[in-house]
Amino acid sequence: MSDLDLLDSAPVADESKILEGLNDSQKEAVSSPLCNALIIAGAGTGKTRVLVSRIVYLISHYQVKARNILAVTFTNKAAKEMRERIGMYLNANDTHHLWANTFHSTCLRLLRAYATQAGLTPGFLILDTDGQNSLVKRIMLDLKMDIKEIKPSEFASRISSLKEKGMRADDFQKRVNYIKYTNKKKSGTIEKLALVYSAYERICNQENSVDFAEILLRTVELLRSNSAIREIQNERFKEILVDEFQDTNSIQYELLTLLAGKNSHVMVVGDDDQSIYSWRGADYTNMKKFLNTFPDVHQYLLSLNYRSTQNILDMANTLIEKNFERVMLKNLKGNNGTGSLVSIFKCANNRVEELSVAKEIQSLKDQGVKLSDIAVLYRNNYLSFGFEQALTKAKIPYVIYGGQKFFERAEIQSALAYLKILVNKKDDTALLRIINLPARKIGPKVVESLRNISNEHSCSIIEAIEYLHEYVSSSDAAKELKTLYSKVSAFYNLYLELLSKKETMRLHEFVHHMLTLTGLYAFYSEKDAKEGKSEEDNSRYKNLGVLVSNVKEFEASVDQGEVSVDSENSAKVEDQLTLYLTNITLVSGGEINENGSAETMPFDCVNLMTIHASKGLEFKYVFICGFESEILPSSRKSSSGDNSLEEERRLAYVGITRAKEQLVISYANARTMFGKNEQKGASSFINDIVESYENSKNKPYKIVTKI
């Protein structure tokens, strides 16, 4: 026996210590025989502890060598946590030889070892997202494609999606040719995509580089085509464990089948009730497929929840039982007591909802609750803005998790830039942002010429254009300056028209008019459409509508005396515009950074995030806002069929199960969008829950009317 074998076989932990503190279901899963296994682990049921304990148990009880174990998860953070927790039980050598990585890290490790066999040169480079976008842009320009019509980032994303489905450029070209042949008509976009994908694949091979999707696809192709290498991996990995299995896509599932040999065992852990990433290619049906693909699968159910009170769990259980496509029915039971009733805030409108939530958070803060223990969740990013304002007004610090603050979003910055040049024509920073947005053929050379004139005359760029406007009307005007003015005259006329209109319209009406006249509405609507976003999916277009609503609310606050203004000039639109821009600058300046830090702000902050971003997290106090018709479930998902509706229900379930001690669900009967009031009302999911308890004396919720 080698020294390595001696080290691998060394005792690592007392078996009783490994199982200590586990409940019966967890013990059964951890100590299961060497077999294929599917563990359905409900929210908050301790799946990470089960995975860690299982790995230690394999080494301690079954004497499986650490180097023969592969544990795969989805994020570097989860992989690191798993390794650290395993390290508390194992000796250093075992920890070193254990494969506990993300899917990408695992595949990259194999590609590094077998680069030549995979068609790569050792030392190949990895393209990050920016690099991928830059390469696609270069290809599109070489092919004389309009990168303003179709963004390179859109094509880069679609190429990644095709790779995740296992489709190479040649395969995609054949598919495009078939579509052309059967439909007898051309589809310009997919034909262009096929050309770009083909060139992209060729150049990546020439430059010996791989993108993230390529790492997975090339590893699958290597194992699929090279039986010798596949057999080595089959012999190496005796025990394979996969976390968050409901989030695997088709290429990841095939990878698993290729890595597992005849004498290997695979244990997958997941919860189909928390499958919310179908838009990223995740396929929760892989859990059912696993039962059919792998022989003699043992099934285990973890349903004892260590996170939430029973009232919260009852809300979650009642909601999710309406889903029919479930691998295994489960009813979460908790060990934290009944807890307080879940509050359902029935709000007259979104403004009432925002203020009510802020007031409730202020009350919690006054009771000594740490703000970091509080989370405000919402279906879409555009819903965050009102809560940002309400919390700012209440002087409650917050951090937006996994997203930008409202006024930092590109489309809002663009809209504000137009407004800024109307009150300060010396603001070249604002002007340079939008002089060619949307595109109006004012390229870098034109801008450089304008800047040269402004430097010569010590004036702003707008003043340089004014100078050109006056000069070209004279008979001795130079031809090149006339040509330069002809390229910027449309923008200058737009600027003059906006100056005129802002003096005759209410501020919110003017902002809406500006967004239409400048083409920002149309530009961002097209941008959303090209990226496959609807109004419900955090669209830029809808964010512009939220801006109009915010301006209207600002006007109302001025009229009600909530914002101080010079009474002599308060009726002037330009003065209100200046006041508005000043007000939002102060609000934005008081916000903390996305990472939660700021020199002048405390670290204890309320967490704002989408429900998607909250998966895997937990908070003592949770507010799920905008829980209403056409938002959750979204109108688009509701009309897409039962599968989409079930995923929306799973999304709501994930939100509810983030709460540990107190949960507030809120909805508005009316919501202001694009300056107009839209009638909303309670989500059908709320109605389902209320209907389920119609004749019950022990309801887990209470309805609180807010007006």
Active site (catalytic) residues:
47-48, 243-244, 274, 658
Strands (E), 132-198: none
Six token digits for residue 492: 């200058």
- The verdict on whether residue 188 carries a ligand-binding annotation is no
Dihedral angle computed from the Cα positions of residues 578, 491, 439 and 576, in that order, rounded to the nearest 10 degrees: 10
- The verdict on whether residue 184 carries a ligand-binding annotation is no
CA-based nearest residue to 653, from 407, 348, 317: 317
- The verdict on whether residue 44 carries a ligand-binding annotation is yes
**Residues facing residue 677 across a β-bridge:** 672
Question: 3-class DSSP state for residue 131?
Answer: helix
Q: Give Cα separations from 320 to 303, 337, 455, 607, 693 (angstroms).
A: 14, 21, 65, 25, 14
Per the rule left: phi > 0, alpha: psi between -120 and 50, beta: everything else, 184 is: left
d(CA 169, CA 119): 16
Amino acid at 625: C
d(CA 354, CA 371): 17
- The verdict on whether residue 641 carries a ligand-binding annotation is no
d(CA 664, CA 295): 45
Map 431-465 to HEC letters: HHHHCCCCCCCCCHHHHHHHHHHHHHHCCCHHHHH
First-to-last C-alpha distance (Å) of the chain: 77
- The verdict on whether residue 42 carries a ligand-binding annotation is yes
CA-based nearest residue to 361, from 334, 324, 387: 387
Map 189-249 to HEC letters: HHHHHHHHHHHHHHHHHHCCEECHHHHHHHHHHHHHHCHHHHHHHHHHCCEEEECCHHHCC
Do residues 674 and 516 touch, judged by C-beta distance below 8 A?
no
Six token digits for residue 431: 């002007």
Amino acid at 503: E
Do residues 19 and 31 touch, judged by C-beta distance below 8 A?
yes
**Residues facing residue 702 across a β-bridge:** 343
The backbone torsions φ and ψ at residue 629, rounded to the nearest 5 degrees and listed phi first, read: -55, 135
The backbone torsions φ and ψ at residue 664, rounded to the nearest 5 degrees and listed phi first, read: -120, 125
Edge-first strand listing for the sheet containing 398-400: 398-400, 606-610, 374-378, 619-624, 659-668, 342-347, 701-706
Do residues 446 and 488 touch, judged by C-beta distance below 8 A?
yes
d(CA 40, CA 244): 10
Alpha helices in 518-641 (DSSP H): 520-530, 540-559, 573-589, 611-614, 635-638
Length reported for the chain: 707
- The verdict on whether residue 144 carries a ligand-binding annotation is no
Binding residues, by number, are 41-48
Binding residues for ATP: 41-48
